[in-house]
Chains A and B, each alone.
Chain A
């Protein structure tokens, strides 16, 4: 049981380059999330999705786009990377049930923008 899988695990980008982070979950969860984690800032929500074909903005959405074309996948895109986007990115998923609603996280993607 893989849970939540993120690719790639590490990436170095030059300022202005673009990239896509892929998140896949095999738990049939309705909700998926992208967070970034920075020292002293905790986990901050970038975008989230409540179902296939739907996305919504979180706390820090600027500079990012997302898509959820399939229920099991949630993509995070950076169109023009900036040094301020250097961070560790985590994908998570959770069920829409009223109990056992905890989020399960991937192992993270460490992104450095130079």
Chain B
């Protein structure tokens, strides 16, 4: 069965304290891995797409990496405005672009 697991469930960081979020997956026919940010009461907002092992993408204080079995979202010197839930999703399947989501990591950055 296709699965996406994110860890930790929750993470509290001091402002400026770097860390990483993990997304491990077991799917057949991976077509892409996606990271989203979700603020309370809003829909998920797209951050990155990774398509192949070894690929890296960066945006401001965020950097996403991909291996054959997992992805990491590295947060460098986070600020309070980085507080949100970060969702990982994988795209698989032969028909359509079905996305399978993890349960997310809730990040809180304390000033």
Contacts and interface: CB of A to CB of B under 8 A. Distances in A.
A33 to B, nearest CB: 7
Contacts, number: 62
A40 B103 contact: yes
Interface string B15-52: 00000000000000001101010000111111001010
A34 interface: no
A107 B38 CA distance: 10
Contacts of B43: 4, 90, 92, 105-108
| Chain B residues touching A, range | 20 to 34
B42 to A, nearest CB: 6
B97 A101 contact: yes
Interface stretch (A42-50, A63-71, A77-85): A42-50
20 contacts: A4-B43, A31-B97, A33-B99, A42-B87, A43-B89, A44-B101, A45-B99, A48-B96, A48-B98, A56-B95, A90-B43, A90-B44, A100-B49, A101-B49, A101-B91, A102-B46, A105-B43, A105-B44, A106-B43, A108-B43
Interface of B: 31-32, 34, 36, 41-46, 49, 51, 87, 89, 91, 95-104
Interface of A: 4, 31, 33, 35, 40-45, 48, 50, 56, 58, 90, 92, 94, 96, 99-108
Given A45-B99, A102-B46, 9 more contacts: A44-B101, A50-B95, A90-B43, A92-B99, A94-B99, A96-B96, A102-B34, A105-B44, A108-B42
